[in-house]
Structure 1
């Protein structure tokens, strides 16, 4: 048993990365408990495992005293001198008390300890691997689902895709291969737990990094993302080099790059717009595919009034206010959209700024000036929208 134990510990250290010393320390502690439990002993004991020969010995530890009150914990000075004349009052003496059949108990305990330590070590390795992938993208295979989660195989564990993080336009089937965004990694008592998402804006960012080399190497920077998963997204990009077209880089030749992302997101439309420090230009770009006549900026309120051609009003607002809502999320500015005719009546055309009593567009509430939903129908996409 001794040689087999040492060989097993050496193999574990090599294959699983579990230190042999760590297992021996844990095994010694477990054997102390096993000895006391199986032999109804309450004295202080020490278990010694020789890491060279593999032999296991149990030693009872007793205090040297003048008068013995508890023979399980103490030994008289006279008895101690029979062992060695060097002992004095207050010393601790060790006496071997290894039972004859202790090898069987030791083998059973060793198996339990090694199994537990290997499990803990594997969990630690898996946790270390996936904690480094937090806020990153991985490809997984759908395994099964229940009313709470879809279980996605990421290789060494099953990640959890909650119902709230699933795209409403998607259906998931066993063996489907999907890309997911890792939102949270926890080390629980049952092992590492990984939560993933298909709706997080980070998924869109990582997909662009995979498909667009200019984003991956930093030539083109993603400044902001606004996403309504499964329906439409807007992404603002910027390049420091004036020779680089950030929008064109993301779209790709004949739209191949952005189309690959659209296909992965099952048809989600994506508007790619140019970022700008100038809020006038940035807000106008963010309302793509609508054309903008003028943008009036209120710096104090961080609000804008956008004037668009009459025939572009429904396109600028978008179906159910979606285009304006996403533009507000993307830019961080409140947006109030008016047609040219309405702006002219209010005297807003060609003015630098104005106060208005119309409701603002923001990322929570959209006021369409009491226009019916029919006014939003028929909105078409621009070249940069897929």
Structure 2
């Protein structure tokens, strides 16, 4: 190796945002193994690369002893003092043992280490980039399907949309642009692994935050979300400003804001509900679009009996109980729905 190598190393380090010193330290450590492997040495050695010339030197470390029993790791006081008068018993003497043919081995080893470290550094940068996007939404491009996993390209990395994170009925075609929610970023031996979702309630939450300025600014707060992916979502919102209607802000003029989100979720229905600190009021709103006549709450059991007009019973319960189920999940209350005629019996 030579000065040109050091210059090239500094350039690579700058481009890849790696410390030159870290690279050289790694090369020196690898060269110790290369020396022992190629020259069958059991000596205690160190390798030093000159930071200016690039010259590589190997030194055997030997301990100064009164009586030498292993000349590979020990040196007599007499021999040590023939090198320098400063040495005393128990000192460590470094004796250069650089082989003549070590330059070629050093260059090959250095190349391998640099390639490996660059790969590690790039993986680290990608990991940090996507770790910061955890619990957020990103846009990706569908690449292929492997064992029911949808592989989505997101810049420098491919993310995995597992079967249980895919919306029932959604079809993912090659080159489709889709928004996904980043659930988790893992470090693996093959680099960062990004797990994404189309079913997570956080996807809906982030879509509203991006589409509704009042939510982004903190004027309107999302209190709760319940979702059955691909079918229906209920979202409870509250305004900290009495002059701002939280439901109106989320719906937008002529429904334009919520429509953008519905389109992104490929037609999933969204009920936007006004949150209330009054449980009865909140539970009644949660059963939207059904109209509620009265709500009787049991605070101790966190349960409620809801009465609706006879003709609204099926709407309140929903197909296969979906509306009632989502309302219960949204509010955290157990809800028992009765029609007006059932209540009067």
Indicate the TM-score class for this superposition, using the shorter chain for normalisation: over 0.9
| 2:28 corresponding residue in structure 1 | 28
| 1:364 corresponding residue in structure 2 | none
| 1:173 corresponding residue in structure 2 | 173
Provide the TM-score with structure 1 as the length reference: 0.88
Structure 2 segments unaligned to the other structure (5+ residues): none
Superposed CA deviations along residues 263-296 of structure 1, whole A, max 9, x for unmatched, are: 0001000000100000111011000000111011
Distance in 1 (alpha carbons) for counterparts of 2:130 and 2:29: 31
Asked if 1:53 corresponds to 2:24, the answer is no
Distance in 1 (alpha carbons) for counterparts of 2:226 and 2:88: 79
Contact 2:3 2:52 in 1 (8 A): no
| 1:298 corresponding residue in structure 2 | 298
| 1:275 corresponding residue in structure 2 | 275
Superposed CA deviations along residues 179-238 of structure 1, whole A, max 9, x for unmatched, are: 000001111111111100000000000000111111111111100001000001100001
Secondary structure of the residue aligned to 1:295 is strand
Secondary structure of the residue aligned to 1:53 is coil
Distance in 2 (alpha carbons) for counterparts of 1:308 and 1:206: 33
Distance in 1 (alpha carbons) for counterparts of 2:332 and 2:278: 13
Asked if 1:257 corresponds to 2:261, the answer is no
Secondary structure of the residue aligned to 1:185 is strand
Asked if 1:75 corresponds to 2:80, the answer is no
| 1:352 corresponding residue in structure 2 | none
Asked if 1:241 corresponds to 2:241, the answer is yes
| 1:105 corresponding residue in structure 2 | 105
Cα deviation, residue 7, structure 1:
1.6
Secondary structure of the residue aligned to 1:226 is strand
Cα deviation, residue 46, structure 1:
1.0
RMSD of aligned alpha carbons: 1.0
Cα deviation, residue 313, structure 1:
0.7
After TM superposition, the runs of 4+ consecutive aligned structure 1 residues lying more than 3 A away are none
Cα deviation, residue 94, structure 1:
1.2
Structure 1 segments unaligned to the other structure (5+ residues): 346-386
Distance in 2 (alpha carbons) for counterparts of 1:53 and 1:115: 21
Q: How does 1:112-261 map to 2 (within 5 A)?
A: 112-261=112-261
Distance in 2 (alpha carbons) for counterparts of 1:300 and 1:84: 87
| 1:8 corresponding residue in structure 2 | 8
Number of matched pairs: 345
Contact 2:233 2:269 in 1 (8 A): yes
Secondary structure of the residue aligned to 2:94 is strand
Secondary structure of the residue aligned to 1:199 is coil
Secondary structure of the residue aligned to 1:277 is coil
Cα deviation, residue 13, structure 1:
1.9
